[in-house]
Amino acid sequence: MPRFATLRSATLTAALVVALPRAAGAQDLPVSPAQMKADARAYYDAEMKAAFLFVGFGALQAGGGGVALSRTDDFAKAFGWSSVALGGVTALGGAGYAIAVKIRGDYYTGLAETDLARFQREESEHLTGTHGRYVLYLATELVETAAGIGLSTYGLAAKDDVTKGIGISAAINGFALFVMDVPGAGRASAYLDELRRFHPSVAPVTGARGDHGFALTLARRF
C-alpha cells in the first residue's frame, strides 16, 4: 500500500505541475500568424538547449561516479557504479532527444512557413501527446527520488553502505531530472495553449517545400 500511495501522490503532483502553466494562460488573446511562427522556433530552440542540459548533467553524474570508483570502500563502489549507469543513460537519452528535436523542429517550423492550417493541426496533435507524457515523466522522476531517499535512509539505519550508495545516486538522478523537466512541462503547456488559440486565416503556401516524407515519419514518432 505505501508504494501505491507514493505512486498516486507522485502522479497527482506531476499532473498539477503540468496543468498550472496552461491554466494561467488560458484567457490570453488569440495568437497572430507571425507570433505563432516565432513561438514555434523559440519552443524548439529551448528544447534543444534542454536536451544538451540533460547530456551535460548525465556526463557530470557519470564522471562523478567514475571518480568515486577510484576509492575502494563499499559506499564509493555502490555510489560510483550506480552513478555511472544512471548518468550514462541520462546522457544518451539527452543526445537522442537532441536528434529528435532537430528532426521535428525542422519539420514543424518549416510547415509553419508553408501551410499554417496544417501546421496548427499536426503540431497540436503532437504537443497534446507531449503534454500528456510529461505527467508520466515527472511522476516517474518523483518516484525515483522517493525510492532513492528510502534506500539511502534504510542503508544509513542498517549500516549498509551498498544500499546507501545506490539510494543517494538514485535520489540525485531523480531529483535532478525532475527539476530539469519542470520547465519543459511548462513550455509544452504554454506552447500547446498558444496552438489552441491560434486560428490560421492565411492560405497555405504551396510548392515551397513539397512533401516532407521521411522527416514527417520521424517527427511523428516523438
Span 68-122, pLDDT tens digits: 999 999 999 999 999 999 999 999 999 999 999 999 999 999 999 999 999 999 9
Q: Point out which residues pair with 198 in neighbouring strands.
A: 31
- The model's pTM: 0.79
- How high does pLDDT run on average in the chain? 85
Q: Is 1 helix (H, G, I), strand (E, B) or coil?
A: coil
Containing 117, the helix (H) or strand (E) segment is helix 116-158
Provide the angle, in degrees to the nearest 10, between the axes of the packed helices 161-197 and 33-68: 170
